[in-house]
Amino acid sequence: MTTLVPRGAYSDEELRRLYPATLKLQLVQIGNEVQFRLDFRIVVMTKTDWSTWNALQWRRRMETFGDDDRPVLAAGPEGAVDTICQLGELTDKGRETTLALGERLRHLYVNQLGFMPRIISDADMIYLRATPMPRALDSVQQSFVGMYPSSARTASFPPPTIITRAAADETLFPNEGNCRRFSQLGRAFAQRTADRWNDSKDMEYLNFLISKWMPEGQRVAVDSHPRLSGIMDTVNSTLAHGPKTRLPSAFYDPKGREIIDKIGTEEWFSGYKESQEYRKLGIGALVGDIVTRMVGSAEGSGNDGLLEVAGVDGDLEKGRGGESGIKFAMSGCHDTTLAAVLSSLGAFEGEKWPPYTSHIAVELFKDESIKTEDAFPTEPAPRQSFLGSSRKKTKPASLMMRKPTQELTAEEKAKLQGHYVRLRYNDRPVTIPGCKLPGNHLEGDDTFCTLQAFKAIADKFTPRIWTDACVEGLNEPTFPISPEPAGF
């Protein structure tokens, strides 16, 4: 795993097969992985009032301790001092590749499919979100600019809305730091991996290759310091950035890298494949949000993300350009997010660790030949403030998007009819095992899962209240008693 080498654009024949004329594309949700941790340049926004924003470009230099404890400038391999970054920040290479991802999304959804407009006057039909990590925010900005460069935005284009959360509420990546039970589960599965591999022939091979560079005479191990997964991350980051960042050649041994990838993938993602609780606490809240937006789009209630990004101040019923729904969503997330989603849906078998700038596209389609019942029109769920609801409810809001499928009424299930969900991982359609069952997919193509079947699969690991689930079962066993396969 290094940087994704994207395939070329779909041919006309591939487009006809992937986007059949009988289905209308209704909603696209993209999760793209951020990457790289070396060198960057930054642009920030400074606010003068609530309606006007100005770009501020600034030159950042980093300071560190000198030999005698005096402050000195940090410098790169060739003495550069103006393009140095902290660990974990987006690099210039990362900006380049996430920009290119946005350009590929524009080519598909604007140029080829005509799903999104060529020029936009605001972004209130687009849901943008990022994790609290700066590189995630930078990545989603780069991808957005790639999809809608300045030439595709009107002169009066207002700042787009980007949603973020406090770290304690973040569900856009597996949040071990703020979910006690998930932290327990993560440690247990990691320890199982260590017990399985630390004394294996594969680990002996890795120690033969690279143990002489380990600190304080340590052996390479799943749980060494640095951990094996940390070594993998460093190897992949340096491979992505060229010879000036390279480690000794032994770190790039092909067999060694295969072993490291195999063990790292097991350590981090086997729990999603085996445990319903692991899925629920690790990624279930995010998958629930994805389903919420699709169900909200299907029922036309505004619960597709519009309430989070639209309008100004308290007037959130419509977008600033009159938009009444979200068509496109893009989230700056992480490799652990993508693999967790795919593994939890049973769609990550035999896969390697996600390459940098990987992405998942979750696409919602509507078969317009099927009439969706709308006997009970709904209104958007109310926005919540710190003091409670931001406006009065005139009638009960629809909450069917979070209601388990088995609890839906016949009228609510009817609103899901004729809708299909398809996942593409790095431009390749994937199949969810439960969607292969009769009646759960589009006839002739099991990559198109019915929305009702997809929601039923996701419901099984969507927590009712994630924060409550994180402190439940702390004294319970960490491994399931019987198999709990993913994707059904």
Residue-wise pLDDT for 444-476, tens only, equals 999 999 999 999 999 999 999 999 999 999 999
Dihedral sign (CA 66, 72, 73, 79): negative
77 pLDDT more than 80: no
Per-residue confidence (pLDDT) for residue 95, from 0 to 100: 87
Whole-number Cα distances in Å, 342 to 200, 268, 356, 363, 458: 28, 13, 16, 14, 12
302 pLDDT more than 70: no
Query: 127-176, pLDDT tens digit by residue?
Result: 999 998 888 999 999 999 999 999 999 999 998 999 999 999 999 999 99
- SS3 at position 108: helix
27: which strand partners?
364
Per-residue confidence (pLDDT) for residue 387, from 0 to 100: 35
Place of tokens 């292969």: 436
CB 125 within 8 A of CB 328: yes
50: which strand partners?
none
Per-residue confidence (pLDDT) for residue 33, from 0 to 100: 74
> Angle at Cα 293 formed by Cα 326 and Cα 299, nearest 5°?
85
Per-residue confidence (pLDDT) for residue 314, from 0 to 100: 60
| Rg of the chain taking only CA atoms, in angstroms | 24
102 pLDDT more than 80: yes
Section 374-397 average pLDDT: 41
424 pLDDT more than 90: yes
- SS3 at position 85: coil
Section 8-27 average pLDDT: 94
- Model pTM above 0.85: yes
Mean pLDDT rounded to a whole number for the chain? 87
Residues near 238 by beta carbon (within 8 Å), at least 6 away in sequence: 245, 246, 247, 251
Per-residue confidence (pLDDT) for residue 400, from 0 to 100: 76
Whole-number Cα distances in Å, 461 to 281, 328, 405, 466, 487: 8, 25, 12, 11, 10
Per-residue confidence (pLDDT) for residue 58, from 0 to 100: 73
The reply to whether omega before 480 is within 30° of 0 (cis) is no
Using a pLDDT cut of 90, give the percent of the chain over it.
68
Least confident segment among 102-106, 314-318, 404-408: 314-318
Of 91-105, 235-249, 428-442, the range with the highest mean pLDDT is: 428-442
Section 108-127 average pLDDT: 95
Section 97-109 average pLDDT: 95
Q: What residue spans of 323-367 are helical by DSSP H?
A: 335-344
Per-residue confidence (pLDDT) for residue 294, from 0 to 100: 95
Q: Where are the beta strands (DSSP E) in 253-374?
A: 328-333, 359-367
What are the structure tokens assigned to 394, written together?
A: 């005139």
Section 196-212 average pLDDT: 97
323 pLDDT more than 80: no
107 burial (CB, 10 Å; 0-12 / 13-18 / 19+) is middle
The helix or strand, by DSSP H or E, that contains position 448, with its residue range, turns out to be: strand 445-450
69 burial (CB, 10 Å; 0-12 / 13-18 / 19+) is exposed
- How far is 171 from 129, CA to CA, in rounded Å? 11
Per-residue confidence (pLDDT) for residue 250, from 0 to 100: 97
- SS3 at position 120: strand
Per-residue confidence (pLDDT) for residue 34, from 0 to 100: 61
Name which of 182, 177, 170 is nearest 276 in CA terms.
Answer: 182
Per-residue confidence (pLDDT) for residue 41, from 0 to 100: 33
Name which of 161, 100, 89, 99 is nearest 125 in CA terms.
Answer: 161
Per-residue confidence (pLDDT) for residue 89, from 0 to 100: 82
Per-residue confidence (pLDDT) for residue 175, from 0 to 100: 96
How many residues belong to the chain?
Answer: 488
Section 7-27 average pLDDT: 94
Residues near 233 by beta carbon (within 8 Å), at least 6 away in sequence: none
Section 268-286 average pLDDT: 98
CB 143 within 8 A of CB 32: yes
Query: 24-64, pLDDT tens digit by residue?
Result: 999 999 998 765 443 333 333 334 455 555 566 777 888 89
Least confident segment among 167-176, 259-268, 363-372: 363-372
399 pLDDT more than 90: no
- How far is 372 from 102, CA to CA, in rounded Å? 33
